[in-house]
Structures are given as structure tokens and as C-alpha cells.
Structure 1
Amino acid sequence: MTPFITLEGKRALITSGTRGTGAATVALFRQLGARILTTARTKREGLAAEEFVAADLTCAEGCTVVADAVQDRMDGSTSSFTCWANRRRPRGASPHSATAIGSASLISI
């Protein structure tokens, strides 16, 4: 049977990917064939080191860490899937900044 959807050959950055919705998204995207990179403040057991980057995305330094990891590990580009349900916008981000808009969306392609 042909799968309804495939992410084979796609790269995805999944934020907050260690618990809840984020962890479920990591598992689903991996199952559908995507090459994933996920981020959170702390790594959970069972998550491969090459799939994880520890970073606090509420500050500029954390965002830089993730951007560098995307460059180094994912050939510089991904689709971004943010899983920040009910989060406030990052410190210092204006309501119209890309950071604030990205953190407010569940999925952006």
C-alpha cells in the first residue's frame, strides 16, 4: 500500500521536540521518512545525538545555536515545524518579528 503522505528526502527542524506535541511530531516525521533535527533546552533519553540540539529559543543566543546547527547538520535548509503551543513570544521579539511569528504558528512550510 502506498502511504498517504511521505516526507522522504525532506529535512525538518522541529522545535520543542522532546515532549508532548513536539515529540509526537518528531516520531511521525521520522516514520514518514524525514531527516529531522529537533531542539529543546534538554535532551530526552532515546533521542539520537545527531537529531538534537540543546538551545533556549527564547533568547537570541539560542536561536543562533539552532541556526548554526541547521547549517552544519542539514545542509543549510529545512522546513520548519514549530511546536510551541501556548508559548509567549521570545524575550525582546517584537510582535511582528519573524521570531515571534514563527513561534506562534504550529506548522509553517
Structure 2
Amino acid sequence: MVEDALMNRKIQDITLAGLLARPLPLYNDEAMWNKAMALTKDKYGSVHRVFIVCDKDNMIQEDFQRWMIENNPTDDVKLISGSDHMPMFSKPKELCLCIQEIAEKYP
């Protein structure tokens, strides 16, 4: 009986904590946040982007990956054939070689 009461109290405490939690901004000054995060050619545009397509990904299908590439142009596209959503587990050697090629091409 006491154990049930304690369990109910813990559940209530967890529920209350979830309801009272409020996300805090990284910066208190919203203008500073907007300026710091502005995507410009000098900032974001200067970073080389390479998309690695995982053709056996069941979470993000290949056609949607290709759509992302079309709508967010990259400098290069690599394919790891037979890789699933987590190529670091399904094709670790191939991923390592792919990242190495990217690092050599875009130092």
C-alpha cells in the first residue's frame, strides 16, 4: 500500500516537472541571437557541403535524400552503396574511406 502511494507520488512529481519545464534561450537578447545565427555567404556559404547518400536507408528514403540535395545544393554527393540510416554501423569502412576522400578534397 505504501509502495503504491510512493509510486503514484513519483509519477505526479515527474508529470509536474514536465509541465513546469521551460526552454531557456541560449542568449537572453533575441537581437543578438538573430545576428549570431544569420546565414550569410561569408558564414554558412563558405563551408563546403557534401551529402552522403545511404541507398538502403529505411528512415529517410533515397528519393527524399535526393530531394534534400536538390533543395540544399552541395559541393559534392557521395553514395555508400548498401548502407542504411547509420552507415557508421552498417558500412563503417566505406564511411571512413568516404570521409577521408572528402577531407582530402576539401581541406
User: Is the pair's TM-score, using the shorter chain for normalization, greater than 0.5?
Assistant: no
Structure number with higher strand proportion: 1
Greater relative contact order: 1 or 2 (C-alpha under 8 angstroms, separation 6 or more)? 1
Asked which structure has the greater CA Rg, the reply is 2
Class of the TM-score when normalised by the shorter of the 2 chains? 0.3 to 0.5
Structure number with higher helix proportion: 2
